[in-house]
Amino acid sequence: MAGASFVVVGSQAAGLFKIARSARIGGVLCESGRPAKTKVYFLRGPGRKGVGAPLVGIRVSSSDRFDPRAARFYRLDNRVSENLYRELGDALKQTVVAEAGKGEFRMLEGDGAGRAFLRSPAADGILLKLDFAAPIPIQGASKAMILVDGVQVSKSFRRCMRLSIGGRPAGNCAEMPHGLMAETNLLRFIAYDPNGDNHPFILAYTPEAPLWGHERWGFRLTRKGPSRFLMDALDPKCREGF
């Protein structure tokens, strides 16, 4: 309703805004390959230009108890290196072997060699690529780092957001489906810690729209690993309807 409060986390900062009005417009969502009208909300508040490109809006139940000045916002730069491959490569492959053994690596239909791998997973059947890595402060964890890895097994590929603590993978893969989505090097990553107590959200976005539209990704991060809560891009099948 009008007056409800939202924190908008953008590419440059986060700010507190209120709903001014709502309307129904097209071009935001698709249904059956065609643009569909949906309800959108117009926000007002100071510092609109300072927020940059909006990434996610977070509903605030009471703006009186929320202090945006306590939050921490920072960009994450890619720190992938040969040393990082040497430090984490074998451990990441063994993590994939364990996940495959539990049925957590889905193979493409018709990938016979991939299905054979699932029956007897082994590290030598895995091709690993590190796309992104950045240190991140997490409460109660030392030497924490987020990673985006790409794993190829036979004809099947999987991309994951992961967490490393103390040089060892922690938690599970938060999958970043790769088909018809932007390559990782087209994404920019930021961290938003709403209370400034090292419980960050990780957000990724495309500063320039790929052919099928901008992307937005969101992950909650704890010592147990990342969990994805946002995966948003324009449905590529909808392009022809515009």
More confident residue, 136 or 142: 136
> Please, are residues 52 and 13 in contact by the beta-carbon 8 Å criterion?
yes
Q: Report the pLDDT averaged over residues 78-107.
A: 93
Structure confidence at residue 180 (pLDDT): 61
Tens digits of per-residue pLDDT, 213-240? 788 999 999 888 999 999 987 665 665 5
pLDDT in tens, 6-21: 989 999 988 889 999 9
> Are 87 and 11 found together in one domain?
no
| Backbone dihedral angles phi then psi of residue 108, each to the nearest 5 degrees | -65, 145
Q: Which two tokens stand for residue 110?
A: 């018709």
- Residues 102 and 123 reside in one and the same domain: yes
Domain limits for position 91: 76-241
The total domain count for the chain is 2
62 and 94, same domain (yes or no): no
Interatomic CA distance for residues 242 and 239, integer angstroms:
6
Please state the pTM of the whole predicted model: 0.87
Clarify whether residues 64 and 84 are in a common domain. Answer: no
Residue whose C-alpha is closest to residue 138's, from 166, 114, 107: 166
Do 218 and 146 belong together in one domain? yes
Looking at the fold, whether 156 and 108 belong to one and the same domain comes out as yes
Predicted confidence at residue 232, as pLDDT, reads: 85
